[in-house]
């Protein structure tokens, strides 16, 4: 079975996605309600007649259980499809760009030869995949083309997608889960350069945690930029979370963190999220500032922060990778939030991150809406990026 088909099966299940699913869901619900009513009537009648047997009750209960299970499954499937749609929409710039270039290559070259591979190499490098990984991907593609004796240039699409997947997944296990489920207070520290999307990502994460039933408190430790505190305050008003503010503008960020811990002493919170300023221009200052914040955190909880997420702007491409390397030197990083994927045409950046930094991308920003920050899903990412290449290529 081809890679595209396998990928689709993993994402959508064995059946192909079809547009009648919502309708089917509604129909099922109506039918289920009818069934419920029928069951109720049946139950009443049965009790009335007092001819009920144990087997019959068992059967009715079993039917009820099955109907509930079916509904749950269908709901799960719809949530999954919503996520995939978000990936497809958020990656449409990158996907369209990659598809267009590969289609152009195919129409300009009649056969798969060295020149074809050279051009393909260029396309992949331009999509922000690191040079060393492009080399690996190409090696793999060439091997497969040779082994399978592929001469049809259109069949290469599937192999490209397949190898991108393999190269990302093979480097290590992909861990996307936020480590914030400990009993007691969990601490999440957000770092990253100015404008990368720290504050808005904090709002999105806080929103997600609140929906999961968690009690969240924010610490506005970005005391450097005028307006940063105000921005966080606005978000807090929209979400059901508390916030600790600096006493005055330009206050010591570590003092805000200290205050936040004081406030969490009564075990009223599950997660503390700390917003920081990201002045990479002055690395020594940044290093000192983050070291001081980490020291305060560890004074209260030695094993914290449970997550130190580095926020990276996908539109900054290889430059973003350099920034990340600098951050890695000043503070430990447990995962990456890759924002603004919807704003870049070069979706290969995710592969570069894995290669150059070896840190897992845990969350990916696919737009500005609250639910546009999604847990990173390799299948959905490859699907969003290569969907355009799948046409006429499914085997
Ligand atoms: N399109 C898009 N925009 C985003 C995404 N994430 C963040 N943004 C936008 O990026 C801009 C900067 O985001 P902030 O959250 O203020 O960035 P910051 O890192 O807190 O910036 P500083 O506080 O200046 O250090 C805002 O306009 C956000 O709406 C994303 O995934 N997609
Ligand atoms: Mg900010």
If asked whether residues 85 and 118 sit together in one domain, one would say no
Dihedral angle over CA of 374, 375, 377, 380, nearest 10: -20
Residue nearest (by alpha carbon) to ligand 1 atom 25: 194
Q: Give the chain's length.
A: 395
What domain range includes position 78? 17-90
- Of 64, 90, 116, which one is at a domain's C-terminal end? 90
- Between the CA of 270 and the centroid of ligand 1 the distance, in Å, is 25
If asked whether residues 228 and 291 sit together in one domain, one would say yes
Distance CA 71, CA 189 (A): 38
Pocket of ligand 1 (CB under 6 A): 192, 194-200, 222, 225, 228, 278, 311, 339-340, 342-343, 365, 367-368
Q: Residues 216-236: what's their mean pLDDT?
A: 83
CATH of residue 368: 3.40.50.300
Strand 307-313: give its sheet, edge to edge.
Answer: 242-244, 216-220, 271-275, 186-191, 307-313, 335-339, 361-365, 373-375
If asked whether residues 244 and 324 sit together in one domain, one would say yes
Of ligand 1's listed atoms, the one at least distance from the Cα of 275 is: 20
What pLDDT score was predicted for residue 363? 96
Residue 162 has pLDDT above 50, yes or no: yes
Domain count, the chain: 3
Three-state SS at 365: strand
**Do residues 230 and 249 lie in contact, with contact meaning Cβ atoms separated by under 8 Å?**
no
If asked whether residues 267 and 133 sit together in one domain, one would say no
pLDDT tens track for 70-92: 888 888 888 888 889 999 999 99
CATH of residue 101: 1.20.120.140
- Between the CA of 131 and the centroid of ligand 1 the distance, in Å, is 28
In DSSP terms, 311 is beta-bridged to: 337
If asked whether residues 100 and 138 sit together in one domain, one would say yes
pLDDT tens track for 130-143: 898 899 999 999 99
When pLDDT is cut at 50, 70 and 90, the band that residue 43 belongs to is low
If asked whether residues 83 and 42 sit together in one domain, one would say yes
If asked whether residues 294 and 311 sit together in one domain, one would say yes
If asked whether residues 162 and 200 sit together in one domain, one would say no
If asked whether residues 123 and 251 sit together in one domain, one would say no
Widest pairwise Cα distance in the chain? 84
Residue 273 included in any domain? yes
Residue 17 has pLDDT above 50, yes or no: no
């Amino acid at each position: 079975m081809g890679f595209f088909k396998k990928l689709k099966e993993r994402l959508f299940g064995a059946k192909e996605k079809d547009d009648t699913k919502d309708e089917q869901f509604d129909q099922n619900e109506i039918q289920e309600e009818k069934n419920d009513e029928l069951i109720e009537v049946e139950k009443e009648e049965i009790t009335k007649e007092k001819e009920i047997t144990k087997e019959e009750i068992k059967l009715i209960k079993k039917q009820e259980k099955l109907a509930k299970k079916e509904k749950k499954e269908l709901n799960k499937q719809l949530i999954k499809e919503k996520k995939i749609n978000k990936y497809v929409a958020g990656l449409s710039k990158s996907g369209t760009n990659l598809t267009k270039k590969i289609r152009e290559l195919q129409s300009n070259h009649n056969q798969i030869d060295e020149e074809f591979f050279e051009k393909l190499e260029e396309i992949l490098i331009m999509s922000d995949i690191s040079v060393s990984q492009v080399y690996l991907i190409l090696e793999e593609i060439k091997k497969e083309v040779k082994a399978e004796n592929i001469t049809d240039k259109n069949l290469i699409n599937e192999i490209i997608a397949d190898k991108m997947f393999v190269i990302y997944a093979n480097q290590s296990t992909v861990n996307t889960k936020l480590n914030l489920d400990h009993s007691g207070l969990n601490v999440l520290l957000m770092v990253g350069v100015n404008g990368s999307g720290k504050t808005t990502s904090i709002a999105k994460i806080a929103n997600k945690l609140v929906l999961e039933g968690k009690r969240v408190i924010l610490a506005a430790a970005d005391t450097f930029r005028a307006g940063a505190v105000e921005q966080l305050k606005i978000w807090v008003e929209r979400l059901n979370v508390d916030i600790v503010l600096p006493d005055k503008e330009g206050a010591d960020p570590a003092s805000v963190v200290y205050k936040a811990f004081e406030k969490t002493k009564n075990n009223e919170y599950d997660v503390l999220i700390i917003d920081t300023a990201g002045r990479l221009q002055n690395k020594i200052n940044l290093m000192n500032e983050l070291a001081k914040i980490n020291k305060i955190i560890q004074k209260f909880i030695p094993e914290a922060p449970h997550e130190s997420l580095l926020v990276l702007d996908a539109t900054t491409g290889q430059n973003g990778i350099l920034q990340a390397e600098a951050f890695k030197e000043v503070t430990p990083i447990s995962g990456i939030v890759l924002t603004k994927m919807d704003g870049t045409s070069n979706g290969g950046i995710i592969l570069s991150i894995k290669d150059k930094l070896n840190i897992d991308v845990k969350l990916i920003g696919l737009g500005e809406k609250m639910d546009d920050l999604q847990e990173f899903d390799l299948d959905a990412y490859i699907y969003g990026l290569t969907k355009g290449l799948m046409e006429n290529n499914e085997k």
